[in-house]
Structure 1
Amino acid sequence: MGKSELKKEIGLVPALAIVIGMVIGSGVFFKPTAIFTSTGAPGLGMMAWVLGGIISIAGGLTAAEISAAIPKTGGMIAYLEETYGDVWGYLLGWAQTIIYIPANIAALAIIFATQVTSLLSLSDSMLKPVAIIVIIFLICMNALGSKTGGIIQTVSTVGKLIPLFAIIIVGLMNGGGGAARLFPVTAANHPIATSLGSALVATMFAYEGWINVGAISGEMKNPGKDLPRAIVGGLSLVMAVYVIINVAYLFVLPASTLAATKTPAADVAKIIFGQAGGKVITVGILVSIFGALNGYILTGARIPYAMATENKLPGSKWLSKLHPTFKSPINSSILIAVVSIILVFSGKFDQLTDLLVFVIWIFYVMTFCAVITLRKKQPDLYRPYKVPLYPIIPAIAIIGGAYIIFNTLLTQPMNAGIGILLTVIGYPIYLSRKSKFKKADEEYTA
């Protein structure tokens, strides 16, 4: 569908709802563990939530300019190809296929299984089987077509709001710790720079999704005016919710206890609602995770499918096949499921999320830099929206992203090395297949 065919029907309020719905997922319920483990103190942990929000707002405002100026299918892949050449778009698509999407699915499946085993008092040996079962189940459901996946997504979006607001309201009203648990700001044995950086990596997983915000610009009535308002307003509301719910957590449990549990939100819920009420909230959290997992499975298979339709991946002829009845990208879904299940065997939620955040933020920073590059290379390019306070806002996004990347290289060199290696493997594959690339509507000749 071309840009001229898009109906401009989205106003400010629907745009705000889209931003909030894209971002709020599972991280707010589980990342307090990694954040307070990294910082060793509640004050620095809360600072990480705020800084993560500020960097995300700056990133959203910056990326929206290039998204509105280059409204092409493929999103960030198209932006990188336009600015840096085909190879960078290819490496992003490759990284999304073998790292970003599968790592997201595996991490969410692991945390879903962790919650299930805790709720049903199952042994830890059931964690991986439950994670694998939920991946296979959702792959099968989405094979029935995008309508089925969309229904699951709608129900889970409503479900995720219930535990959020229940914990915030009751936790703030009945939490026994009060302000004392919001201090100290720093811990003596945790260097501020690296501790804050590690906590930021954790918070950025909770803020994931803002990169897609600019995709709605072509359907907005007044993108120049309403898009920045939706980004700033929506992400500010998300940040406020994240900060307030973490204050509620700390009103109930100290940071040291939150750092020591795999299920911080569920533990808080059990204390403030009792065992029975806590289980109800836990079910709500499970619905939220289930929805986030479904979202990545629903959209994730479209990336290798799109690449395969252009003969860009090994086995493209097979990967580009659709289900004969439901017309869903079934074979690409199988690929994503297989890689995700392999990653499930790591069993480490935080390692997987840190890996995917590190890899994707390399490309995010390149996207932010592309805004500046295109301002110089293509000054006459039609831009229905321009990032405000240029170049200050892009600079905040670039510096914040660079801090996340370099801190991960410093504090998690093995994880960062794996991410870089898996991404770089895509380069020789790109070279070997470049001559075979074709347009999506061409017939296969090989």
Structure 2
Amino acid sequence: MGEKQLKREISLFGAFSTVMGTVIGAGVFFKTASVVSFAQSPSLTIFAWILGGVLTLCAGLTSAELATAIPKTGGAVKYIEYTYGKLPGFLLGWAQSVIYFPANIAALSIIFSTQFVHLFHLPDELLIPIALATGLSVTIVNLLGTKVAANLQSFTLVIKMVPIALIVLVGLFMPATAEVSLFPIKAGGDNSFIHALSGSLLATMFAYDGWLGVGAVAGEMKRPEKDLPKAIFLGLSFITVVYVLINFVFLKALPIEQLSGNLNAASEASSQIFGAMGGKLVTIGILISVYGALNGYTMTGIRVPYALALEEMIPFSQQFKKLSTRFVVPYVAGIFQFNIAAIMMLLGSFDLLTDMLVFVMWLFSLLIFGAVLILRKKEPELNRPYKVPFYPVIPIIAILGGLFILITTLFTQTLLASIGIGITLLGIPVYLLNKKIKAFKSK
């Protein structure tokens, strides 16, 4: 009943703002280092950001058809469950609970700590303790109630646009200190073009992450059939332009050798553009942006195991669906999520964690793109308030792009891909065990 009673109050601008707020996070500031380390050339770096934006646009437009046709709480989990069955749907929820959200929290905590240590010239030995304290502080904020977490999110949403705007607007008109050649598009160093392109493209996907949720507001839009595709197209196109411009500015400000693998590149480029004091102020803005992104993933993430527990789909469901008496928050899920993230902070690095979560999510994204094709054939009468334009071209582009990312990652980063697949497949015995426990209890 709750889903049918949602008020249709969101306008085109409201949906556009949601797209912007969902996708723009910390990746734009920190994935340049990884993209450049693979590309080793300005031309391929810029091309990777453009191609990443095109694939994200096709993915967003495709998945939004399911969001309007199957407007159920749970989003992507429900699309996959509806099309393929309970187990594949559960595996997405499992992967989100044990990989996607914890890895995001761990990666963002590490990047926050890296910038904090760099800004205040602290010893590197403090990097992990500060990362753990950062992740813990955001978890505590969320355990104090949804209103507190939502207020923090609203504040950081405004702040995170400030450093982006300053870097782009000022950086574009600053004289270049490094040469930027956009053509011909080629890989630098000893990398083959395919290896360089696949690695750099995978790296951009973390910055574009969030597109899967852009259709979630469909049920509350005044005219989803008209405004949703416009909001996705305008929002993701604008984000792509911003990402390309900010990376162009970084390439202008610093030599490519200084950008490659340097997680402090955004801070150092800001100092080059604005001077030492201005660079520090921009870095503080970036820190607030990262903290806000961390809060967003924490706030959303703790509700995934809670939602699975409500349907008795995971072991210890009675514990996971417990809500705190005073703040009405799924605190067990919050503690569980932070503990996994803390282990990841101790074992992983920013790029390792983000590449693994992107790889795993694109596995399920392919299922979602395929579901659009399957349901068009299997259920042509299904009510679709919005249909993906230029069908089947856009879904096929999304599928081909996803396959390229997955196959090349499988060959170029085999261990990373294997770990992601392995942890995801661990969900199968968990699902079957829980099913047996439920059957035993019902006797």
Bin of the TM-score, shorter chain as denominator length: over 0.9
5 Å-filtered alignment, 1:39-438, equals 39-177=39-177, 180=180, 182=182, 185-186=185-186, 187=188, 189-435=190-436
Aligned equivalents of 1:125, 1:181: Cα separation in 2:
38
Corresponding residue SS for 2:172: helix
Aligned equivalents of 1:270, 1:261: Cα separation in 2:
14
Aligned equivalents of 2:348, 2:282: Cα separation in 1:
24
Partner of 1:441: none
How much is the aligned-residue C-alpha RMSD, in angstroms?
1.5
Partner of 2:22: 22
Corresponding residue SS for 2:160: helix
> Displacement, 1:172?
1.3
Amino acid at match of 1:24: I
> Displacement, 1:260?
4.1
Q: Deviations over 1:211-264 (max 9, x none)?
A: 111111111111111111100100000000000111111111122211142211
Aligned equivalents of 1:347, 1:82: Cα separation in 2:
35
Corresponding residue SS for 1:406: helix
> Displacement, 1:369?
0.2
Q: Deviations over 1:189-211 (max 9, x none)?
A: 22111211111111000001111
Number of residues of Structure 1 aligned to a counterpart in Structure 2: 441
Amino acid at match of 1:145: G
Contact 1:311/1:436 (8 A) holds in 2: no
Aligned equivalents of 1:270, 1:368: Cα separation in 2:
42
Residues 1:62 and 1:140: Cα distance change in structure 2 (over 3 Å): same
Amino acid at match of 1:378: E
Aligned equivalents of 1:175, 1:196: Cα separation in 2:
29
> Displacement, 1:2?
3.5
Aligned equivalents of 1:107, 1:135: Cα separation in 2:
10
Task: In structure 1, list runs of 5 or more residues that go unmatched.
Answer: 439-443
Q: Deviations over 1:25-80 (max 9, x none)?
A: 00000000000000111100111100100000000000000110001111111111
Contact 2:178/2:254 (8 A) holds in 1: no
Contact 1:312/1:437 (8 A) holds in 2: no
Contact 1:249/1:268 (8 A) holds in 2: yes
Aligned equivalents of 1:3, 1:175: Cα separation in 2:
53
Amino acid at match of 1:154: S
Amino acid at match of 2:129: P
| Range moving further from structure 2, 260-269 or 418-427 | 260-269
Amino acid at match of 1:230: A
Aligned equivalents of 1:250, 1:183: Cα separation in 2:
14
TM-score normalised over the length of structure 1: 0.96
> Displacement, 1:183?
6.1
Residues 1:437 and 1:13: Cα distance change in structure 2 (over 3 Å): farther
Amino acid at match of 2:159: G
Contact 2:178/2:255 (8 A) holds in 1: no
Amino acid at match of 1:27: G
Q: Deviations over 1:240-297 (max 9, x none)?
A: 0000111111111122211142211101011111111111000000000000000011
Residues 1:180 and 1:217: Cα distance change in structure 2 (over 3 Å): closer
Residues 1:177 and 1:83: Cα distance change in structure 2 (over 3 Å): same
Contact 2:3/2:73 (8 A) holds in 1: no
Contact 1:41/1:183 (8 A) holds in 2: no
Identity %: 46
Contact 2:117/2:126 (8 A) holds in 1: yes
Task: In structure 2, list runs of 5 or more residues that go unmatched.
Answer: none
Aligned equivalents of 1:437, 1:59: Cα separation in 2:
37
> Displacement, 1:3?
3.8
Amino acid at match of 1:61: L
Contact 1:269/1:278 (8 A) holds in 2: yes
Contact 1:181/1:255 (8 A) holds in 2: no
Q: Deviations over 1:122-166 (max 9, x none)?
A: 111101000000111111111111100001101111111111011
> Displacement, 1:315?
1.7
> Displacement, 1:437?
5.6
Corresponding residue SS for 2:422: helix
Aligned equivalents of 1:27, 1:170: Cα separation in 2:
20
Amino acid at match of 2:395: P
Contact 1:41/1:255 (8 A) holds in 2: yes
Aligned equivalents of 1:254, 1:290: Cα separation in 2:
28
TM-score normalised over the length of structure 2: 0.97
| Range moving further from structure 2, 331-340 or 188-197 | 188-197
Contact 1:117/1:124 (8 A) holds in 2: yes
Contact 1:223/1:384 (8 A) holds in 2: yes
| Range moving further from structure 2, 216-225 or 334-343 | 216-225
Contact 2:43/2:181 (8 A) holds in 1: no
| Range moving further from structure 2, 238-247 or 428-437 | 428-437
Amino acid at match of 1:220: M
